[in-house]
């Protein structure tokens, strides 16, 4: 399952959604509106994000990262 998230930051460049893989252990626990931590950026620092959608697959051409928690 793929979660569409929006990063909780005020930067204009982040005013869009990003796709993250939902780990199997979290599949029944993540819903639209859930607050999650995701690795983001070059240093893969964990950032707070909110789930705005759930879907079965992504349209991104590159490998997507997993939600941390």
Residue 8 forms part of a structural domain? yes
Write the pLDDT tens digit of every residue in 46-59. 999 999 999 998 88
Residue 28 forms part of a structural domain? yes
pLDDT for position 49: 95
Q: Structural domain of residue 11, as residue ranges?
A: 2-55
Query: Residues 6 or more apart from 17 whose CB is under 8 A from it?
Result: 4, 5, 6, 52, 53
Query: pTM score, two decimals?
Result: 0.88
Number of domains in the chain: 1
Query: Could you give the CA distance from residue 39 to residue 22 in angstroms, rounded to a whole number?
Result: 13
pLDDT for position 12: 65
Residue 67 forms part of a structural domain? no
Write the pLDDT tens digit of every residue in 6-62. 998 876 677 789 999 999 999 999 999 999 999 988 888 899 999 999 999 888 788
pLDDT for position 41: 82
Residue 6 forms part of a structural domain? yes
| CB distance 69 to 24 below 8 Å | no
């Amino acid at each position: 399952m793929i979660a569409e998230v929006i990063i909780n930051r005020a930067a204009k460049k982040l005013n869009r959604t990003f796709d993250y893989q939902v780990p199997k252990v979290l599949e029944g626990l993540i819903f639209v509106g859930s607050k999650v931590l995701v690795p983001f950026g070059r240093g893969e620092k964990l950032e707070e994000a909110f789930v705005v959608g759930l879907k079965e697959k992504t349209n991104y051409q590159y490998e997507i990262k997993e939600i941390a928690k």
